[in-house]
Amino acid sequence: MEGPEIQFSEAIIDNGRFGKRVIRFETGRLAKQAAGAAMVYIDEDTALLSATTAGKSPREGFDFFPLTVDVEERMYAAGRIPGSFFRREGRPSTEAILACRLMDRRCVPRSSRACATRYRSS
């Protein structure tokens, strides 16, 4: 079979403490098609953070850093399944929208203006 050679990386796990909280980072196991992904465990909470780009080279004409941040809360992950079909995959909650904005406001000032590739973080 011909095609691009796929390289698999080994999982990297790092543990640490942040104040009284225990933090664990795992990368290399999930979301292998993303440009980068990490599972983050903080005490009892778990999050999958992934980032990808729309292209390898910057696009011309952008005078801003094109970043999209998505936070998706899944009720069934906590064992709570809503009864209505429309509530199951409805619009994001206010907390999710504020979390997206908080991450966006933190990342954009730290990024290079020369980087005009469209980024998506979820």
pTM of the prediction? 0.48
pLDDT digit string (tens) for the chain, length 122 residues: 454 555 556 788 888 888 888 888 888 888 777 777 888 888 888 887 777 776 666 667 666 666 666 666 665 555 666 565 555 556 777 877 777 677 666 665 555 554 545 555 54
Measured between alpha carbons, how far is 75 from 116 in angstroms, rounded to an integer? 35
What is the Cα gyration radius of the chain?
Answer: 18
